[in-house]
Amino acid sequence: MSLLVLLCLAVFLLTAFEVFLPGGILGVGAVFCLLAATYVCFSDYGFLPAVLLFFGTASASLVLAIIQFRWWIKSPVGRGLFLREVVGGDAPVKEKDDMIGFTGEALTRLNPSGKVVINGSPYEAYSEDGYIEAHESVRVVGRDAFKLIIQKT
């Protein structure tokens, strides 16, 4: 009986520490302790007590984790760790499709990546021609996920 109680307490402690030290290892340990407690209960008391112990301990552990998360978010330390506001904005990728064919100037040396100025706005760029010196004239020929693809003009 004492082994059963110790295993159940281990489930609760490992669950509690998993909330504060995330990474999964303590959570996996809690699951193994729960399975070991279920096995010990099954071998000592039978099927029904083992099932009740499993679902009861798992449910109580889940409730403990939910309560801890709610408390953790409201604590002074938790307020510094969790975002309170939605950060908006889009990557400038949408406007880059319309820029194919535009000309501009290399802001920095492209070796093969660097910055260019197109219509007065700076952009990250990748040169298909390889090395391009700063202040050389360039033309946009395509785009990558977050960079313009350029060539010398």
The DSSP secondary-structure symbol of 109 reads: -
Q: Could you tell me which CATH class the domain 93-152 is placed in?
A: mainly beta
pLDDT of amino acid 95: 52
- Per-residue pLDDT tens, the chain, 153 aa: give them: 799 999 999 999 999 898 778 788 999 999 999 999 999 999 999 999 999 999 999 999 999 989 888 887 788 877 777 766 776 655 554 454 678 899 999 999 998 899 999 988 899 999 988 889 999 999 999 888 788 999 998
pLDDT attached to residue 117: 94
- What is the per-residue pLDDT for 72? 77
Long-range contacts of the stretch 31-36 (C-beta < 8 A, 24+): 33/7, 33/8, 34/7, 34/58, 34/61, 36/7
Q: What is the reported pTM?
A: 0.52
| Alpha helices by DSSP H, the chain | 2-20, 25-45, 47-74, 76-81, 93-96
Per-domain residue ranges of the chain: 2-81, 93-152
What pLDDT, on a 0 to 100 scale, did the predictor assign at position 58? 96
Which pLDDT does position 55 carry in this prediction? 97
